[in-house]
Amino acid sequence: MRFRGRRMELEHGLKQIDIAPLIDVVFQLLIFFMLTSSFIMQPGIRVNLPKAATSEVVKPQNVEIMVTSEGIVYLDGKVVTMDELRGFLKQSAKRSPSASILIKADRRASLGRVVEIWDMARELGVSQINIATNQE
């Protein structure tokens, strides 16, 4: 009989569940995910595009040329010299006559470098050349 009475006392004595440990665990998980997500960096080349009021959205291009503010030229994400770019554009123009390129130049990039790339592409027979901008 004693045993039965003690069991009843335990069942009726536990009226609420202690959720403080659960809150601690959830809070620590929240902090963990906040800290780890802030250190994820997107790979890529940082180019600050100029703004234009009359810019249009164009379809994806065949070739993407980037010019940084330091004057470094990238072809599809890889650093290239002007001679390598010339060879690539010559091959590209021979393969597909309707080849098009997109020039993404930083707003502080040398205009001379952009014009040099533009002129080289036109000379090698590239039919369409676009310059990337941000819409205002």
Per-residue pLDDT of the chain (136 residues; tens, 9 = 90+): 555 555 555 566 666 778 888 899 999 999 988 887 766 555 565 666 666 666 566 565 568 888 988 888 998 888 999 999 999 888 887 887 677 888 888 888 888 898 898 888 888 888 788 887 776 6
Domains of the chain in sequence order: 2-37 (no CATH), 51-135 (3.30.420.270)
Contact 106, 49 (CB under 8 A): yes
**Which residues are CB-contacts of 47 (< 8 A; sequence separation ≥ 6)?**
66, 67, 68, 104, 105, 106
Query: How much is the pTM?
Result: 0.57
